[in-house]
Amino acid sequence: MRRPRWGRSVTFFGSSGANTESPPASETPADPDGTVGAGGTNGKPPRRWGGGGNNNGKPPEVPAGDGRGVVVCGSDRTMLRVVTELVSSGEHVTAIVNPDSRHYERIGELGAQVMGVRVVSESVLRRAGIDTADDSALSARALVLLDADDVRNVHTALTARDMDPKLRIIIQMVNPRLGGQLHELLGDCVVISGPSLAAPAFVADALEDDELTWVELGGRRMVAGPADLIRDPHLTVLADTTSSATPELLPSGSRDPDGDIVLGTGVRPVWRTKDVRRAGWLVATRDILDRRVRTIAAVMAGLVIAGTALTHWIANVEWIRALYLAAGAVTSAGIEDDTFSNASPWAKIAAVVVQLTGIVLMALLTAVIVDSLIGARLSRVIGGVRGRPRNHVVVCGLGTVGARVLEILVERGVAVIGVEQDENAPGVQTAHRLRIPVIIGDSSNEETLRSAGVPRCQSVLAITNGDITNLESAMVVHELNPDARITMRMFDHDLAQRVERQLGLGHSRSVSMLVAPAIAAAVANRRSQTTVPAGRRVLLLTEVTVERDSVAVGKRLGELDETGGLRVLARLEASGPWDWEPAFDKTVKPGTRIAVAGTRSGLARLLLATRAPHHSGASGRMDP
């Protein structure tokens, strides 16, 4: 099986390769006259209200003609990016921010209405415009929850759902399992996982991989690419690339299955270097028996040898018994008093000194071993690196994003070493579960990076939560291994551009910039389309909702399929999960959501069939 070619980019939901398209009028919440939301649109400074404001907790005056707004809760970097994305798209944004957040002032400057509160309660949400009894322009149509704590996000989401059963809720979750269960609790809810969206982009940079396309489709994380890279079972064949110039799209059969572009749920391990090994118990024992232990043991051995010789000559004891007596004295096990009862005084004094010295040495030996086991941390001793690793990927920063990066790299079969300063970080536990070597230490420290084998590695991902730490790590890596491919996680866009342009330290990415477009698309209910290249042609992967009174209503699901133009992959009814083995003889109903793969023309015909007919108003149609 061939080794995958390393390329440049990766495509996944909400990032490069994916685009969004506005839904038909029937899918878009009412917006009376399409005017832009309040805050910063006329050069005026943004107004703040709520805690710390000067309007006595009352919402600002907004013209009745403005559309219903969006409420965003959070205080971190993602919050700043999402507010920027929403305001730039013309949304009226109300931001509920902790006043202690360092982004508080900046969010207000972006044009959002800011409520400075520390705890999001029902009364706070009501003041922000979430109330089913209020259909005015001040009411909210969507709620975005970006708190770093999943529990707080779920609590706020449940509270908002009780207040407005029709409210659209977009929630960012770190725990994907918990997020997958929220649809049953919240109804109209979109769950977005920042690590799941951002991690494939970092992996693509590390591997220079341009053959795989990642996408969130039909409630599942999917990957499209060459059949020999995609793990079985393959869900469908997207293209037969026997002829690279004119590949056959969505074929009914294939003459060369190994050359197909297919859709699956994961990638198979096609290449793994054997140069990275976890430090096992033998290496762990060697680390415990460090130089201090060896020095103390050598001194004790010298005392035992000297004591054995003196005991043999002074007390006229045979060598074996003399060794036994000397070892007992040095190790504080005690000696027989009658052995030295007739010895000279200086011999008795020497025996006492040897025994006291042995007590001190035993105490020191115990302290040093305990320090090696506890002070150096078992996670570092047992999970360290064995040997001299080479041609591997080093991941610096094992937070939620780093944990997901480790999972994808292991899934790809790539050798990887993790570096993390906090032994309780989520990625450290993931690394132990996946049996990945981990170095506990500062990723910007040269010795730490040397321990991770950076001088012989293929690429380095500096993805801690600190821009400066990532920049320092990248500079040290560049000194240790100028040929290593470096990717940094940086929030400051201007700093990232200058670093790439002037220092030449590699690529940089921002998790918040990768996540924000997906959240903005979910708020606007825009459909996400992911492009899958197939030779000189492309396919689109997307989800489409069947509208009431559309041509598709009443047809069998199989009738929507077009050979070479469109393929239905999965179906979602109003009640129930996504069905990836749909019955194609079932009737299509209004509200049915289908996941499809198609050409541009095939998808265009599907959109015409699933959209409700447009009825012209009294003004009629304008002649050209």
What single letter denotes the amino acid at residue 73?
Answer: C
**Token pair of 413 as six digits:** 């079969």
CA distance 182 to 216: 17
CA distance 197 to 236: 23
Query: Looking at residue 300, what is its pLDDT?
Result: 81
Which of the two residues, 352 and 99, has the higher pLDDT score? 99
For 321-325, what is the mean pLDDT?
79
DSSP string, 290-324: -HHHHHHHHHHHHHHHHHHHHHHHHS---HHHHHH
Asked which of 219-228, 305-314, 423-432 is least confident by mean pLDDT, the reply is: 305-314
620 pLDDT more than 60: no
What's the half-sphere exposure (Cβ side, CA atoms, 13 Å) at 522?
26
- Average pLDDT, whole number, for the chain? 76
Which residues lie below 8 Å from residue 80, measured CB to CB, with a gap of 6+? Answer: 103, 106, 107, 110, 512
Phi, psi of 141 (to 5 degrees): -105, -15
For 233-251, what is the mean pLDDT?
81
For 287-314, what is the mean pLDDT?
78
Degrees (nearest 5) of the Cα angle 537, 543, 546?
125
Neighbours of 242 (CB within 10 A): 14
Confidence of residue 472 (pLDDT cuts 50, 70, 90): very high
Strand blocks (E) in 168-320: 168-172, 189-192, 213-217, 220-226, 236-240, 248-249, 260-264, 277-278
Q: Which neighbouring-strand residues pair with 11?
A: 213
Query: Looking at residue 397, what is its pLDDT?
Result: 94
Cβ 570 vs Cβ 215: under 8 Å: no
406-418: pLDDT as tens digits:
998 888 888 899 9
> Is the whole-model pTM more than 0.85?
no
Angle between helix 400-412 and helix 426-433 axes, rounded to 10 deg: 20
Edge-to-edge strands of the sheet including 416-420? Answer: 438-440, 416-420, 393-396, 459-462, 485-489, 507-509
Which residues lie below 8 Å from residue 73, measured CB to CB, with a gap of 6+? Answer: 95, 96, 120, 143, 144, 145, 146, 147, 156
Counting Cβ atoms within 10 Å, is residue 289 exposed (0-12), middle (13-18) or buried (19+)? Answer: middle
Which of the two residues, 23 and 139, has the higher pLDDT score? 139
Query: Looking at residue 362, what is its pLDDT?
Result: 79
* For the chain, percent of residues with pLDDT exceeding 90: 18
CA distance 288 to 299: 18
Asked which of 165-169, 339-343, 395-399, 540-544 is least confident by mean pLDDT, the reply is: 339-343
Asked which of 51-55, 316-320, 368-372, 528-532 is least confident by mean pLDDT, the reply is: 51-55
Which residues lie below 8 Å from residue 283, measured CB to CB, with a gap of 6+? Answer: 384, 386
Nearest one of 420, 440, 426, 432 to 148, comparing CA atoms: 426
Which residues lie below 8 Å from residue 335, measured CB to CB, with a gap of 6+? Answer: 325, 328, 329, 351, 355
Which of the two residues, 317 and 584, has the higher pLDDT score? 584
Confidence of residue 307 (pLDDT cuts 50, 70, 90): confident
262-290: pLDDT as tens digits:
998 888 765 544 445 555 555 556 656 66
The helix/strand/coil state of 601 is helix
Query: Looking at residue 395, what is its pLDDT?
Result: 95
- Tabulate helix, strand, coil % of the chain (nearest 5): 40, 20, 40
Q: What's the first-to-final CA gap in the chain, in angstroms?
A: 60
505-536: pLDDT as tens digits:
778 888 888 888 888 888 877 667 788 888 77
For 56-74, what is the mean pLDDT?
58
Asked which of 10-14, 129-133, 196-200 is least confident by mean pLDDT, the reply is: 10-14
Nearest one of 414, 411, 408 to 391, comparing CA atoms: 414
**Pairing verdict, β 69-73 and 507-509:** unpaired
DSSP 8-state assignment for residue 503: I
Asked which of 12-26, 297-311, 352-366 is least confident by mean pLDDT, the reply is: 12-26
